[in-house]
Amino acid sequence: MVTRTIENSQSFSWKRFFMQWEWMLILLIIAIFMMNSSISPYFLNYTSITDATMTFLDKAFIVFPMVMIMLMREIDISVGSTVALSSVVMATAYNAGLPMILALILCLAVGALCGFLNGFLLVKYRELSAVIVTLSTMILYRGIAYMILEDQSAGGFPTWFSFFGWGYVGTIPFIFILFIALAILFVLMQQKSVLGRQIYAIGSNPTAARFAGVKVDRIKLIVFTLAGVMAAITAIFLTARMGSTRPNVANMYELDVIAMVALGGISTAGGKGRMLGAVLAVFVIGYLQYGLGLINIPAQALLVIIGLLLIISVTITNLRVKKKL
């Protein structure tokens, strides 16, 4: 909150406006589009781009709450396991005779509960770091998922359910519409709302924020629960895409999500960076991966390229933060 008022008090400058990391990401997206269409004749057409968008957006829902969490200097590495657990519970409940609508609600409830438990443990035992707490629940949630399905897969969902994974509204993928709607909501919430500003304040200095009357614990609880709900939404889309689910689904998703947030310019030191950056980063990594896939780059080379991209961008964003301080 403090830093923002200082920034706002400075006069508007075009130079400053164009030097934001978000422009860099937009440039990157343009570069990737140019690269993709020059290396593959199959990229630059509407179907290909919408298909590409559908392949990477499912995990991107978790990016929103993860930005908020990382802005508060916390982290949540249990989100992949939360996806698996809520997906497995949903499939099992449906196969046990629960109507699909109720199974979907149950899925969201399980996600919310997982997230709430993370937040609760963190708030209750302040001396524990978020890495340790969510590492434990990551193992716990995955373990419960394995206990429920015992290494099997479960599916047989009603046909309308596949709409979540494969459906279009007109010519636009449903997942894209929902993602953009949520992105607008989250960007506004993070940048304009009181809650959003309080999150920045917590990230800049938790103790000061507490003294300033910010309800730190309550906010953490809300944000971690939100992460669980978003993981459950991911579970719905992912399960619909596969038509069945297994306990090992969404393996290592947390790392992909954290990578997107880091590329989005969210400083790991907390309090710096914007939601919009992370939203753009989703598309940077997504289209980069898809484009390289179109020229059949081996999986290992893909990892190397994305790793390098992350190192370069994280170094630059952290340099910027240092300079500003």
Partner 1 sequence: MKKHWFLQLVAVFLLALLVACGGDDETGGDDTGSDNSSNDNGTEESTDSGDEEQKRHAFVFKNTGNPYGEKQMEGFETAINETGGEAILRAPDQPTVEGQIQIIEELIAQQVDSISVAANDYDGLQPVLTKAMNQGIKVLSADSAVNGDSRMVHINQADPEAIGRTLVQAVTEMMENEGQFAILSATSQASNQNLWIEWMETELENEEYADVELVEVAYGDDLRDKSVSETEALLQSYPELKAIVAPTTVGIAAASKVITDKGLQGEVLVTGLGLPSEMAEYISNGVSPWMYLWNPIDVGYLTGYAANALAEEEITGEAGESFEAGDLEGSFEVTESDDGTEILLGEPFQFDPDNIDEWKDVY
Give residues in contact with partner 1 (CB under 8 A).
19, 24, 27-28, 31, 35, 39-43, 47-48, 51-52, 54-56, 151-153, 155, 162, 165-166, 238, 241-244, 246, 248-252, 288-290, 292-303, 305, 308-309, 312-313, 316, 319-320, 323
Residue 267 near residue 45, CB atoms below 8 Å: no
Q: How far apart, in whole angstroms, are the C-alpha atoms of residue 92 and residue 151?
A: 13
Question: Minimum distance between the CB of residue 305 and partner 1, rounded to whole angstroms?
Answer: 6
The conformation of residue 173, written as its DSSP 8-state character, comes to: E
Q: How far apart are CA 247 and CA 82, in angstroms?
A: 11
Pick the closest to residue 101 from 1, 191, 236, 202 (CA basis). Answer: 236
> Which residues on neighbouring strands pair with residue 173, listed in sequence order?
168
Residue 165 vs 196, nearer CB to partner 1 = 165
- Closer residue to partner 1 in complex, CB, 153/268: 153
CB of 174 to partner 1, least distance (A): 14
How far apart are CB 117 and partner 1 at their closest, in Å? 25
Q: What gap in Å lies between CA 94 and CA 100, rounded to an integer? A: 6
CB of 309 to partner 1, least distance (A): 6
Pick the closest to residue 241 from 108, 54, 70, 69 (CA basis).
54
Q: Choose between 18 and 125: whose C-beta lies nearer to partner 1.
A: 18
The least distance separating partner 1 from the CB of residue 151, rounded to whole angstroms, comes to 3
Within 13 Å of residue 100, how many CA atoms lie on the same side as its CB?
12
Q: Where are the alpha helices (DSSP H) in 264-298?
A: 275-294
3-state helix, strand, coil in the chain (%, to 5): 75, 0, 20
For partner 1, which is the closer residue by CB, 35 or 177?
35
Closest to partner 1 by CB, 278 vs 288, is 288
> Cα(316)–Cα(263) distance, rounded to whole angstroms?
10
Quick one: 115 exposed, middle or buried, by C-beta within 10 A (0-12, 13-18, 19+)?
buried
Q: Which residues pair with 128 in a beta bridge?
A: none
Strand, coil or helix: what is 169? Answer: strand
Q: How far is the CB of 22 from partner 1 (least distance, A)?
A: 12
In the complex with partner 1, which residue's Cβ is closer, 28 or 122?
Answer: 28
Residue 68 or 263 having the CB closest to partner 1? 263
Pick 120 or 166: Cβ nearer partner 1 = 166
Beta carbon of residue 55, minimum distance to partner 1 (angstroms, whole number): 5
Nearest-approach distance from CB 142 to partner 1, in angstroms: 13
